[in-house]
Chains A and B, each alone.
Chain A
Amino acid sequence: DQQVKQNSPSLSVQEGRISILNCDYTNSMFDYFLWYKKYPAEGPTFLISISSIKDKNEDGRFTVFLNKSAKHLSLHIVPSQPGDSAVYFCAQEGGQGAQKLVFGQGTRLTINP
């Protein structure tokens, strides 16, 4: 059974500091992971992705790390800004390329001024 878990429902970080969001998965067969950001009453917006040929992918303030042996990935945001306050979803491809995604439950990130 393919599961993606985000065990922290919420996270509060001070503006300017680093935000670290975590995600664990159970099925190593699929090796493409994505992070989405979601504001209230809007659809998820793609942030950054990583495939298992890498252990790190960076895009501006956002970096995703993949630890295949631990079946764990994390999203680092630095420095954190008030506009980063949102719900963040981790997702793993669920077969047939990345046409079907399996999402975690989400982590609500709040950036405090």
Chain B
Amino acid sequence: NAGVMQNPRHLVRRRGQEARLRCSPMKGHSHVYWYRQLPEEGLKFMVYLQKENIIDESGMPKERFSAEFPKEGPSILRIQQVVRGDSAAYFCASSPLGEGGYTFGSGTRLTVV
């Protein structure tokens, strides 16, 4: 039973480009969460999604960031027109019932140059 799969593991983008981060939850999990970790900081909640629904996006920046979890396929975190301050590790987690203690993926490390 594969864990939460995130790809790519590392992503380098130039300022102004778009970044797409993908997350495949564990089998049987229908709840996905995205967190961001800036250097030397803790993880910050961004968004919570169920299939085809955004449940809580209170941690998402108002502009340039969007997330989706379609009926089929992985969850996507999309960052448009990236800036250097977007450089961070982005972690996805999933759970079967929307409860705590969920499972994290290994993260995508985004570097904006």
Asked if B100 and A97 sit within 8 Å, CB to CB, the answer is yes
Please report the total number of B residues contacting A with Cβ < 8 Å.
29
Chain A interface residue bracket vs B: 20 to 34
B104 is contacted by which of A43, A49, A102 (Cβ under 8 Å)? A43
Q: Which of B55, B100, B101 lies at the interface centre, i.e. has the most chain A CB atoms within 10 A of its CB?
A: B100
Asked if A49 and B101 sit within 8 Å, CB to CB, the answer is yes
Given A44-B91, A44-B104, A96-B56, CB of A89 within 8 Å of CB of B43: yes
Instruction: Write the nearest CB–CB distance from A99 to chain B, whole angstroms.
Output: 5
Instruction: Write the nearest CB–CB distance from B4 to chain A, whole angstroms.
Output: 7
Instruction: Write the nearest CB–CB distance from B103 to chain A, whole angstroms.
Output: 7
Would you give 24 A-B contacts (Cβ < 8 Å), ordered by A?
Answer: A4-B42, A34-B100, A42-B106, A43-B4, A43-B91, A43-B93, A43-B104, A46-B101, A46-B102, A49-B100, A49-B101, A89-B42, A89-B43, A97-B98, A98-B99, A99-B55, A99-B95, A99-B98, A100-B48, A100-B58, A100-B59, A101-B45, A103-B43, A104-B42
